[in-house]
Chains A and B, each alone.
Chain A
């Protein structure tokens, strides 16, 4: 190095001691340009007062979700349906199992607002009463399938090797079985109670979740922060449940929501085929019992059908909203 160079070197920034450069606030409102993303924003050093507040993921999630119009509509829809189902009997105290009018009374009549079925029972009361069973079966079966699916998928994806191969063989076995057929067989063999139906739906619906969970776990398993947790002394269970799965949750939450929709449709399908629990009112059961009179009394089938449609629609709108609200965090890097 020439002397001239040496002087110049010493004149410029002679190894300034590392300063705690003020951390950068995230500015979600301004999509950072491609380059700015590479060098994340920082508060200008002259404004140390600009230290960012720690972000609150839950609050951010709610904010993003609420900005999404269709998701809010879906959410409102689900709330209304839930209120109707669970608080409905108090507001509209009509016994769904007794005759209130002549069979096939048209809707908007004096006794039954949505008409009556082939036995003269109130359709509206049926929908309110049946919603409880339908939603319970839907949610329980979905939880069951998601739990099985995540467990199988996480173990397969995390351990790989023979564990992966054998678990995936099992998954494939369940996947190639025609799901509705299997559920029908299960319900036929064991009695057609709500529990059996729930179990049957849960057992046939998990392989999809398992495949998704496995793919996500395999992706995240390769991330350096998982290696970092390993070097920090984490055990397998900690790695799977505390480090990897939280990162895999966004798509799984959405899948869980959709599983509820699928389970509701399944329940309706089984009831429609006459395989539902005949002693418990459900939306599918109403449709199933009245299906022969569809052309004469459209309302007997249409209104419970509409209830199913709106519920599944609501779930999928909310699912999309959750997906969008969880995703920016993943894209934010």
Chain B
């Protein structure tokens, strides 16, 4: 199947006034209709920048300096703004982390959903309102007729996120970029939102790019995973493969860092062991180490890792890692 989104060797830089620092370096991803890719990594690794570059919403002084972002075969990176605006909110939409700040506080929920429809699909006010109501029903908001005339502050966090999803889905987009969509929500509500997203995805065949720091959310939602570290994509592959056999030491580190809940008999065993750690922190933009960027924090790093760029090693169908050691690990 033709991918909805294909990112090829994307480069993003930030202009500090003195020099242009690399923020994203050689990101390549591909996403097919109806599938979900999870992008994971710590803050400062470039996850959100990838999303913003795709949406054409890079902050001031950030710019795409190379590569292509092909959306249904058309390059978003070189597309004129006007054309991109037509796609945005229509075929391409985004769900933000904090629904309270992403929604307009002075417009009713119905108006905000309707607005997108009027803008992109030329619906009349009445039709738009009807569709807005349908959307609220689709995102399972109780008593949608009443909610249509509510303002965002009159809704709970979970409901606001549902409204955000209704707006994002209103025009039946081909691709949704969800940037930490449930981070601000409670776990029980998070489970509801993920379930809803999957159901709606099943109906509309929308592709989802899920940006998250939470490997649990990836396990829950994603078909494929891309792990980001310091502006590079260091491991990609199918979700089961990555979570069960992570090959890059960083991915492995993330796995052992994440506390896991043990239920049933396992919980009565001895007290849980100390968590694994990845020493140090993500280097800031402009101070990425040469050669392998993870080498300074990597327990396996040797001289080669610090002097030569690591190769992208194929480790099976669609599974690849940017690491000198990945193969040894995989076959060890």
Direct contact of A and B (CB under 8 A): yes
Q: Which of B43-51, B98-106, B187-195 has 4 or more CB atoms under 8 Å from chain A?
A: B43-51
CB distance from B245 to the nearest CB of A (A): 8
B interface residues, tally (CB under 8 Å) = 41
Known: A31-B14, A44-B287. A15 touches B275 (CB 8 A): yes
CB distance from A187 to the nearest CB of B (A): 46
Let me know if B29 is at the binding interface, CB within 8 A: no
Let me know if A224 is at the binding interface, CB within 8 A: no
Q: Are B299 and A12 neighbours in the complex by a CB distance under 8 Å? A: yes
Q: Which of B69-77, B233-241, B278-286 has 4 or more CB atoms under 8 Å from chain A?
A: B278-286
Let me know if B252 is at the binding interface, CB within 8 A: yes
CB < 8 Å neighbour of A13 from B62, B253, B273: B253
Let me know if A246 is at the binding interface, CB within 8 A: no
CA distance A38 to B42 in the complex (A): 10
Q: Which of B16-24, B32-40, B129-137 has 4 or more CB atoms under 8 Å from chain A?
A: B16-24
Let me know if A73 is at the binding interface, CB within 8 A: no
CA distance A14 to B253 in the complex (A): 10
Q: Are A33 and B296 neighbours in the complex by a CB distance under 8 Å? A: no
CA distance A29 to B45 in the complex (A): 21
Give the residues in chain B near A219, CB-CB below 8 Å: none
Q: Are A21 and B279 neighbours in the complex by a CB distance under 8 Å? A: yes
Q: Are B16 and A13 neighbours in the complex by a CB distance under 8 Å? A: no
Q: Are B277 and A36 neighbours in the complex by a CB distance under 8 Å? A: no
Q: Are B44 and A35 neighbours in the complex by a CB distance under 8 Å? A: yes
A interface residues, tally (CB under 8 Å) = 29
Give the residues in chain B near A15, CB-CB below 8 Å: 273-277
CA distance A15 to B43 in the complex (A): 22
CB distance from B89 to the nearest CB of A (A): 21
Q: Are A14 and B296 neighbours in the complex by a CB distance under 8 Å? A: no
Known: A12-B256, A29-B17. A39 touches B277 (CB 8 A): no
Q: Are A31 and B61 neighbours in the complex by a CB distance under 8 Å? A: yes
Let me know if A34 is at the binding interface, CB within 8 A: yes
CA distance A41 to B280 in the complex (A): 11
CA distance A39 to B287 in the complex (A): 13
Q: Are A16 and B296 neighbours in the complex by a CB distance under 8 Å? A: no
Given A12-B256, A38-B43, A40-B284, output 5 extra A-B contacts at Cβ < 8 Å: A13-B253, A15-B273, A30-B14, A33-B49, A45-B280
- 18 A-B pairs within 8 Å (CB atoms) are namely A12-B252, A12-B256, A12-B299, A13-B277, A15-B273, A16-B299, A19-B279, A21-B279, A27-B286, A29-B18, A30-B21, A39-B44, A39-B282, A39-B284, A40-B284, A41-B284, A43-B287, A45-B280
Q: 3 nearest interchain CB pairs?
A: A41-B284, A39-B44, A38-B43
Q: Which residues of chain B have a CB within 8 Å of any CB of chain A?
A: 14, 16-18, 21, 23, 42-49, 59, 61-62, 249, 252-253, 255-256, 273-287, 289, 296-297, 299
Q: Which residues of chain A have a CB within 8 Å of any CB of chain B?
A: 8-9, 12-16, 18-19, 21, 24, 27, 29-36, 38-46
